[in-house]
Amino acid sequence: MVDIIYPLIFALGVGLIYYCWWKVRRTGNYKFSYGMIAGIIVLWLLSGDEFFNSLLVFGGAYLLWHYRQIISPTILFYGIFSLFIIFATGRTMSINRYAYGCVSLAICWGIFLSRHVKLNYFIILWFIIMLITSSIRFAQGLWVA
């Protein structure tokens, strides 16, 4: 017997994010962005830190591609090759160390946050949660990254 609740909640979270994104794009009402944040929190509660690590890497890859006309080619190629190194390791456990060290991802996140000011508090809260969970694991003597 397979537990059907987990895939249903995951599909609900993804559906909530997509619906709210669609409403923001269609109506221009940015109050739906809070629904996207709620969907991200649901997915985080289901999958844990691997979701945030994957979101950081794949979101950074998307931002590199999206802002490729704005950033210099040096930053773009540095980011692409850094992502190739991250993907070549094949381990999701230490992705956040490599992604934090990639300067071009930080530049793209900065451009993104300068254009979407309402998401600043959510992104700051996201990094605070990651910092707190990493410090708790380190204090317990667990391997952090």
The predicted-structure confidence for 67-105, as pLDDT tens digits, reads as follows 999 999 999 999 888 888 877 877 666 676 777 778 888
Range of the domain at 42: 1-47
pLDDT 10s digits, 28-53: 777 787 888 888 888 888 877 777 77
Can you tell me the distance from the alpha carbon of 70 to that of 97, in angstroms, rounded to the nearest whole number? 26
* pTM as predicted: 0.69
Q: Are residues 5 and 53 in the same domain?
A: no
Q: How far apart are CA 19 and CA 1, in angstroms?
A: 31
Specify the number of domains making up the chain: 2
- Domain identity same for 60 and 37: no
pLDDT of 2 > 70? The answer is: no
Q: Which residues contact 98 (CB under 8 A, 6 or more apart)?
A: 82, 85, 86, 89
Name the residue with tokens 């996201």.
126
Angle at 26 between CA 61 and CA 123, to 5 degrees: 40
